[in-house]
């Protein structure tokens, strides 16, 4: 298993933390991957996310370039799927939101004039059931707590770097993890026949998170122009 040019591990991260990851790590070496450093000191290039596809919309009619919003219990991931992600596009076109999906995605990092943010560029999308979502929330919670502990010990270079850049309030991230775990422990209310009603749980999101979505939505407009130019 001694491989060079290793595949990047798909990291687990909640939307709340992902949307606060603004720092890009770029090495000077050629062809080396670009990472986004998260507030709990993890560098990620690829992520695995399980959440609810809230909506998909073409950025402009007939471009076949889609903007998707995927929600976990803590917030919303923004992603873009185009013709260069054929596997993800194939599934996406067949899915009608709201629907639970598992997404393997590369992390993209945009630098705007006033601020920067991270988004997803899905490699593959699959429709899954709520057992997968529950395990993902558990797993992501566990790994996030591990990172928080590493931050407290300042045990890695990336942890130290994250302190310098974000100076995070670790209690804030702890409470987000708790909140996420609590949502999967709550009983599921079935609305649609034969399916669990994810959209009900989403309705319970705190208002603060709704605001967050709005912010990203506005901000995204300027980025959309960029990708359009690149895409042509």
Residues near another protein (CB under 8 A) are 1-5, 7, 9-12, 48, 50, 87, 91, 101-104, 123-128, 131-132, 134-143, 145, 177-178, 181-182, 184-185
CB of 16 to another protein, least distance (A): 17
CA triplet 156, 158, 160: central angle to 5 degrees? 75
CA-based end-to-end distance of the chain: 40
Pick 143 or 161: Cβ nearer another protein: 143
Residue 49, exposed/middle/buried by CB under 10 A (0-12, 13-18, 19+)? buried
CB of 38 to another protein, least distance (A): 13
Are 202 and 52 in contact by the 8 Å Cβ rule? The answer is yes
CB of 91 to another protein, least distance (A): 8
Pick 110 or 136: Cβ nearer another protein: 136
Q: How many CB atoms lie within 10 A of CB 119?
A: 22
Pick 73 or 168: Cβ nearer another protein: 73
Pick 56 or 110: Cβ nearer another protein: 56
DSSP for 142-184 reads HHHHHHHHHHHHT-SHHHHHHHHHH---HHHHHHHHHHHHHHH
- CA-nearest of 82, 89, 54, 49 to 68 is 54
DSSP for 33-83 reads PPEEE-TTS-EESEEEEEEEEEEEEESSTTS--EEEEEEETTEEEEEEE-T
CB of 217 to another protein, least distance (A): 26
CB of 106 to another protein, least distance (A): 12
Q: How many CB atoms lie within 10 A of CB 185?
A: 8
> What is the distance between the alpha carbons of residues 206 and 114, in angstroms, rounded to a whole number?
26
Pick 185 or 229: Cβ nearer another protein: 185
CB of 221 to another protein, least distance (A): 30
Pick 63 or 181: Cβ nearer another protein: 181
Pick 58 or 139: Cβ nearer another protein: 139
């Amino acid at each position: 298993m001694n491989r060079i040019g290793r595949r990047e591990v798909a990291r687990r991260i909640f939307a709340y933390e992902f949307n606060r990851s603004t720092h890009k790590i770029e090495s000077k070496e050629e062809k080396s991957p670009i990472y986004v450093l998260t507030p709990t000191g993890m560098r990620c290039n690829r992520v695995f996310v399980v959440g609810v596809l809230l909506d998909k919309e073409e950025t402009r009619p007939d471009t076949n370039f889609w903007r998707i919003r995927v929600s976990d219990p803590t917030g919303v991931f923004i992603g873009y799927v185009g013709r260069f992600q054929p596997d993800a596009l194939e599934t996406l076109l067949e899915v009608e939101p709201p629907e639970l999906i598992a997404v393997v995605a590369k992390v993209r990092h945009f630098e705007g004039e006033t601020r920067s943010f991270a988004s997803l560029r899905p490699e593959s999308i699959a429709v899954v059931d709520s057992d997968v979502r529950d395990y993902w929330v558990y797993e992501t919670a566990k790994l996030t707590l591990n990172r928080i502990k590493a931050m407290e010990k300042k045990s890695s270079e990336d942890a130290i770097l994250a302190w310098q850049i974000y100076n995070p309030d670790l209690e804030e991230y702890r409470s987000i993890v708790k909140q996420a775990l609590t949502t999967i422990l709550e009983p599921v209310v079935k609305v649609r026949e034969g399916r669990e009603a994810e959209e009900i749980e989403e309705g319970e999101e705190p208002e603060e998170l709704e605001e967050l979505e709005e912010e990203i939505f506005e901000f995204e407009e300027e980025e959309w122009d960029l990708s359009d130019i690149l895409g042509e």
